[in-house]
Amino acid sequence: MFDITSTRFPLRAMTAAAALALAAGAVQAQKGETVKLAYIDALSGLMGPVGQNQVKTFQFLAEKFNKSNPAGVKFEIVTFDNKLSPAETLNLLKAATDQGIRYVMQGNGSSVALALSDAVGKYNERNPGKEVVYLNYSAVDPDLTNSKCSYWHFRFDADTSMKMEALTTFMKDQPDVKKVFLLNQNYAHGHQVAKYAKEMLARKRPDIQVVGEDLHPLAQVRDFAPYVAKIKASGADTVITGNWGSDLALLVKAANEAGYNGKFYTYYTGVTGTPTALGQGGAGRVYQVAYSHYNLGGETQKLANEFKAKFNDDMYTLSADHILLMLSQAMANAKSTDPVKVAKALEGLTVKSFNGDVTMRKSDHQLQQALYISVWQKADAKYPYSPENTGMTLAPVKQFESYVSSTPTSCQMKRPG
């Protein structure tokens, strides 16, 4: 099942050069090494269920990759609970480096990501020979690969602007979208969602009115009824939100209870708790933009089904797959697990994955990848996967190749040496 020649399993993405080298009996300098990856994210609190799901995803996929990967290494996931706090994250970075861990992963919360990226850069300046690489699987603030880009930071999700580029390209062809309300979390990511939504809608559909805009505290609101009342009062037929975790689950729950029948264009409908909050409601009215969806087919689907059978949970953070795939390929190409050599090998690396060819853009370390628009509907024979056993699914309605969703970068990369 996990032969690298299979048509869908990610490990088929070994480059031709690497495959030839291995076939010729080249020695894998790093074979058998254990590579520790620090997972630093919220494992408690309102967003804890998301983190717990993602830890299981990383551990599950690491187990698969440990059986076979281009570098022959073994991945070990070491978990740290940052409670969604930037300050706590910096303490945990020190704890991880004190343990000799040289690869750190984080994704939930761009405010955390910005602090972590800055801290990793400063740590590396102070500790030559002990450099750390930051692998970002979900924090999507564009600043991370623009004005605040760092050589040591690599993003495996698509950033806010890329997702909004795809989302608004889809929305411009939806004549029923006339009045939009922007509701977002009051931190970096939420601000960026609102900013890019206004800019891109004005460019692509100037007739669309933004009839309301609001921000709310991150991971603190338990009752979204007042926000839904504002949405209804505005006359909005559509809501654009970058909310995730409990902040999206509780929002759609409140909208259902209030009888709001408008459409939601989201980034994170598939994430823990939101499918259950939607339930049978929202069919045909809730859309998601993402680099994957629940019905990809092939070996990826088999892995998702195996994950569900094992954990009674859904595997939605497939950037974890990209991290393990590209990291092992970069280690094979570098013939080393040294972060300095691996970072250099990651730059410009292209592999084949579950969503086609993906490339780690050298200029800013932003992964270039295809994006999908999917819609909440009843699961059926064509799209059978049902998240959280709701009887519903996210069915793909549009795919945008990476060149469509790609956005320019202003990054002035400062490289070591």
Task: For the chain of 417 residues, list the mean pLDDT of each consecutive stretch of 10.
Answer: 33 42 54 96 96 98 97 98 97 98 97 97 98 98 97 98 98 98 96 97 98 97 98 98 95 94 97 93 94 96 98 98 98 97 98 96 98 98 97 98 94 93
Helix extents (H) in 10-138: 16-23, 48-67, 86-98, 110-126
In 4-131 the beta strands, taken as DSSP E runs, fall at 34-41, 74-81, 103-106
Nearest to 114 by CA among 92, 146, 83: 146
Contact 233, 203 (CB under 8 A): no
Contact 148, 117 (CB under 8 A): yes
Residue 356 host element (H or E): strand 356-360
What is the residue whose two structure tokens read 């939605």? 316
What is the residue whose two structure tokens read 């300098």? 29
d(CA 119, CA 59): 26
Token pair belonging to 252: 């759609």
Contact 367, 360 (CB under 8 A): yes
Token pair belonging to 137: 């699987």
d(CA 275, CA 24): 49
Burial tier of 351 (Cβ tally within 10 Å: 0-12, 13-18, 19+) = buried
Contact 54, 107 (CB under 8 A): yes
